[in-house]
A = this chain, B = another copy of it.
Amino acid sequence: MLRTHTCGELRSANAGNQVTLCGWVQKVRDKGGMVWVDLRDRYGVTQLIFEEGVTDSAVLTKAKTLGREFVLQVTGEVVERYAKNDNMPTGNIEIKVAALEILNASKVPPFIIDNDTDGGEEVRMKYRYLDLRRNEVRDKLMLRHKMLQATRKYLSDSDFMEVETPVLIKSTPEGARDFVVPSRVNKGEFYALPQSPQTFKQLLMVSGFDRYFQIVKCFRDEDLRADRQPEFTQIDCEMSFVTQEDILNTFEGLTRFLFKEALGVEVGEFVHMQYDDAMRLYGSDKPDVRFGMQFVELNDVAQNKGFSVFDDAELVVGICAEGCGEWTRKQLDALTDYVKRPQVGAKGLVHVKCNEDGTFKSSVDKFFSQEDLKLWADKAGAKSGDLLLVMSGTVNAARKQMNDLRLHMGDLLELKDPMNFKPLWVLDFPLLEWDEDSKRYHAMHHPFTSPKLDQIPMLDTDPGAVKANAYDLVINGVEIGGGSIRIHDKQTQALMFKHLGFSDAEAKAQFGFLMEAFEYGAPPHGGIAFGFDRLCSMFGGSDSIRDFIAFPKNTSARDVMIESPSPIAQEQLEELGLKVVPSL
């Protein structure tokens, strides 16, 4: 090793030791006769001291030439500091440098390499290797490292076998868009990169592997949103001979273990909630239950009083904001503006202030008596000093808009502490969802999800009402993972494909191998996948998954550091039997 110690490990007990350290110059303080250098590596920072009359003068002179981010190797004696620094683990000592070698110089970096940086997003992404030097960024990847190890330990200790499934697989039109890989050996044919190892893990169950896991890269060629990446990492699992409850217990166990190992946190109860209840009480299939403000449906007390907006609505729905009864006109106008933004899309917002004297003041006093409003307040459990917020519309629109408002209120009232973790299982998702564009049903999870067996006849009569043995893990309003009990027999799988609009030929061409596998003794099985990037960012108390990925792509799916994607040589295209068609 070019060093005897790291920059994070020397203590008072090492005083008198001759040591050699390597690292980067974090800071130089040159006071003429004295020069101090903070030397940094992954493990910490150690102070170096060069002193006129003590340090060899050639060494002192060299020390005066050092710039930020130079790479050094120094040898010297560990000494107790006069002025100790309790803020750093090595703050009791410094190194009286006897020998100094500059292992590499550095140009002045394009931004300050410190938690408090002056670099904007763009320049930090272009020089991501410098951004990764910042402790704050490296700490996030260290958290990820820990979570990777802990996940595998838990699963491996629980008899899950890690199996690597192929990356070069087959394109299927169902679901999101695939990335494809042209084959040179089989010209005109393509592999696809997996959106998930779904069919392979089911085949492993058919193989009797019993419990499978993998932490695996998956790929989706979608138009990117802020928190999406074209390649992302998934904790992927599957189990045989289990009920839904077994899967929930196993992965509640994993989640608890991760909180304990990575954060030292003991999380509370994992609440179980029906999908229908989540939609009714929170207007969302991923409710944030760190705070209350559950929805109250007010149709029976708010309709037929002559207020046509409510009368014409499918749903009148309210939430009670505790202690907000004194909000000003300005605050309430801001709320109305918020819900009228195109992203939310509401037409308006009705409020009712529950005054301290037991009276009510609402924006619809013209239509509703004090007695009417008292019924609303009672229904919502509102007390004096509270504020009722009410919206209406179609069931879907009113719920969506009220969900937005509720989450916004959570922000305003500071009810969303990122380090207060409230896990929730949402259960019994619908099997199918109607797609307006294609005028047909799509699988809500994927085509391999098992319907509730007693509801299979309803596939013909009321497909939208059929529930699936499907579940999501939601923490703090973020979907961490989801899964289902799978179909494991050919008949049900064929029925499912039929209801999804596959012809027999299409089903066979795309999933013939799976249908055939089901004929050779497929066991009952189910599984789950966690979005690992999101899990890490949630554990790190951050909204951005990009911060938790070493080399992320930007929202145009570009890596601006290596400048990829990029054109390839004509020769390569010819070998692949491809031609680029100039865009119009």
Contacts and interface: CB of A to CB of B under 8 A. Distances in A.
A65 to B, nearest CB: 14
A308 interface: no
A190 to B, nearest CB: 5
Interface residues of A, number: 124
A581 B577 contact: yes
A364 to B, nearest CB: 48
Interface stretch (A148-156, A263-271, A273-281, A372-380): A148-156
A71 interface: yes
Contacts of A186: 556-558, 565
A185 interface: yes
A23 B23 CA distance: 57
Nearest to A185: B557
How many protomers of this protein does the assembly include? 2
Nearest to A217: B167
A451 interface: no
Interface in A321-345: none
Interface in A229-259: 230-231, 233, 240-243, 246
Given A550-B165, A562-B169, A580-B578, A210 B41 contact: yes
Nearest to A523: B71
A109 interface: yes
A521 B577 contact: no
Interface string A172-213: 010001111111111111111100000110011011111000
A420 to B, nearest CB: 28
A207 B130 contact: yes
B561 A513 contact: yes
A80 interface: no
A568 B109 contact: no
- Majority DSSP secondary structure for residues of A touching B: loop
Contact of A145 (B163, B231, B562): B163
Q: Most chain-B CB neighbours within 10 Å: which of A71, A233, A556?
A: A71
Interface of A: 1-3, 6, 22-24, 40-43, 69-71, 73, 103-107, 109, 127-130, 132-133, 138, 141-142, 145, 148-149, 152, 156, 161-171, 173, 177-193, 199-200, 203-204, 206-210, 217, 219, 221, 223, 230-231, 233, 240-243, 246, 488-489, 513, 517-524, 549-551, 553, 556-559, 561-569, 572, 574-583
9 contacts: A104-B488, A132-B209, A133-B208, A164-B233, A168-B565, A170-B562, A190-B567, A204-B550, A513-B563
